[in-house]
Structure 1
C-alpha cells in the first residue's frame, strides 16, 4: 500500500535518494538562515527588540542545515547540487514572495512594512514546515538514524510558527491588520503553487533514482495535484488565520545546540 511512511522509508533506505532529500532540505534551511541573519542586521530602529528573535530564527535554520549535512556524512555521503526546479526558497522569491535578496544584500535599513512582509511570509512557510515535520515525527520519531533530528527540527519549526503568530498579532493590534491579511493571502496562494511544483519535481527525480513504475509515479503526481486543488479551494485559509499561540515568546534566548549532529 502506498503511504507517506512507505514512501519516505523507500527514500530513506536508498543512499542516492536520501542524499538528494537531505541536500534539498539542507540548502533550503541554510538559505533561510542567511535571510534571517540579514533581516536581523537590517531591522529598523523602531523594531530593534525583534532583532534577537530574528537572529534566533536564523540560527535555528542554520542548525537544521548542519543537521541534514551531518545525516549525510554519517552515511558517508556528500551533498549533491540540487536541481533548480526543486529550490523552494528561490522559487518563492521568483514569485515575489517575501523580501527580495537584492534588498537583503543592501545595507539600507528595512522598513516596518518590510518586517510585516517578512513575518507574513514566514507565517505561511513555517505552517508548511511545521506540518511536514509533524508528519515525519509521527512516523519516524523513534527511528534510530533520524529520530533525534526529526524531533529537534519539528520542535523548532513549531516554535517558529508560534513566534510568527505572536508577532503578527502584535503588529495587527498596532494598526497593520489590513496589510497583514493581504500579504498573508498573497503569500499563501503563491506558496501552494510553488509547493505543488517543487513536490512534482522532487518526486520526478526520486522516481528516476528509485526506478518507480509509471503507474506509481502517476499516482503520486495525482495525489500532489489533489493536495494543490484542496489548498487552492479552502486549505489556504489555515495559512492565513492568526491566533495567540500556547507557546509564548518562543524564540527568546539562544538557539538550542545540536552537538550530536554537527
Structure 2
C-alpha cells in the first residue's frame, strides 16, 4: 500500500534518490536565502524597519540549505545538479511568482508595492513549506538520521509563515488590502499548478532511480493530479487566508544556528 511514509522511506533508504532529494531541497533553500538577502538590501526607506526580519528570513533559508548539504556529507554524497523541471523556485519565477531576479540583481530600491507583493507570494509558498515539513515531522521527527534536521527546519518554516501573516495584516491596515487579496489569489492558483508539475517531475526521476514498476508510477502520478484537482477546486483557499498568528514577532530575534549540521 502506498503512503507518504513508505514512499519517503524508500527515497531516504537509497543513496541515489536521497542524493537527488537533498540536492533539490538544498538548491531551493539557498536560492530563497539569496532572494531574501537582496530584498532586505533593496527595501525602500519607508519600510526599512522590515529589513532585519527579511534578513533573518534569508539567513534561515541559507541555514536550511547547509543542513541538507550536511545530510549529504554524512553519507559521503556530493550534491548533484538539479533537473530544471524539478526546480520549484525557478519555475515559480518564470510564472511571475516572486520578484524578478533581474530586479533583485540591480541597485534600484524596491517600491512599497514590490514589498507587498513579495510578502503575499511568500505567504503562499511558506504555507506549502510549512505543510510539507509538518508531514515529515509527523513521520520522521524521531528518525535518528533526519529527525533533528527536520524538526529544526519545520520550526523555522512555522516562524516564516507567522511572520508573513503578521506583516500582511499590518500592511492591509495601512491600505494595501485590495492588492494583498488579489496577489494572494493569483499566487495560490499559480503555485498549486507549479507544485503539481514539480511533484510529477520529481516522482518521475525517483521512479527511474528506484526502478518503480509502471503501475506504481502511474498510481503516484494519479495521486498527484488528484491532489491538484482538490486544491484547484477548494484547497487553495487555505493558502490565502490571513489571521493573527500565535507567534508574534516570529522573526524578531537572531537567527538560530545549526552547528551540528554546518
TM-score (norm 1): 1.00
Superposed displacement of residue 25, structure 1: 0.1
Aligned to 2:90: 90
Aligned to 1:154: 154
Aligned to 2:79: 79
Paired residues, number: 262
- Rounded to whole Å, the distance in 2 between the matches of 1:50 and 1:189 is 27
Query: Is the counterpart of residue 14 in structure 1 residue 14 in structure 2?
Result: yes
Superposed displacement of residue 98, structure 1: 1.4
Aligned to 1:220: 220
Aligned to 2:102: 102
- Rounded to whole Å, the distance in 2 between the matches of 1:177 and 1:23 is 38
- Rounded to whole Å, the distance in 2 between the matches of 1:253 and 1:43 is 19
Deviations 1:163-213 (A, max 9, x none): 000000000000000000000001000000000000000000000000000
Superposed displacement of residue 254, structure 1: 1.3
- Rounded to whole Å, the distance in 2 between the matches of 1:121 and 1:90 is 14
- CA-based RMSD of the aligned residues comes to 0.4
1:44-193 matched pairs, under 5 angstroms = 44-193=44-193
Q: Secondary structure of the residue that 1:8 maps to in structure 2?
A: helix
Aligned to 1:202: 202
Query: Is the counterpart of residue 35 in structure 1 residue 38 in structure 2?
Result: no
- Rounded to whole Å, the distance in 1 between the matches of 2:20 and 2:261 is 18
List alignment gaps of at least 5 residues for structure 1: none
Superposed displacement of residue 96, structure 1: 0.9
Superposed displacement of residue 160, structure 1: 0.1
- Rounded to whole Å, the distance in 1 between the matches of 2:98 and 2:32 is 11
- Rounded to whole Å, the distance in 2 between the matches of 1:236 and 1:178 is 18
- Rounded to whole Å, the distance in 2 between the matches of 1:212 and 1:110 is 47
Superposed displacement of residue 97, structure 1: 1.1
- Rounded to whole Å, the distance in 1 between the matches of 2:255 and 2:87 is 25
Aligned to 1:255: 255
- Rounded to whole Å, the distance in 2 between the matches of 1:226 and 1:178 is 31
Q: Secondary structure of the residue that 2:31 maps to in structure 1?
A: helix
- Rounded to whole Å, the distance in 2 between the matches of 1:230 and 1:248 is 31
Q: Secondary structure of the residue that 1:78 maps to in structure 2?
A: coil
List alignment gaps of at least 5 residues for structure 2: none
- Rounded to whole Å, the distance in 1 between the matches of 2:135 and 2:98 is 26
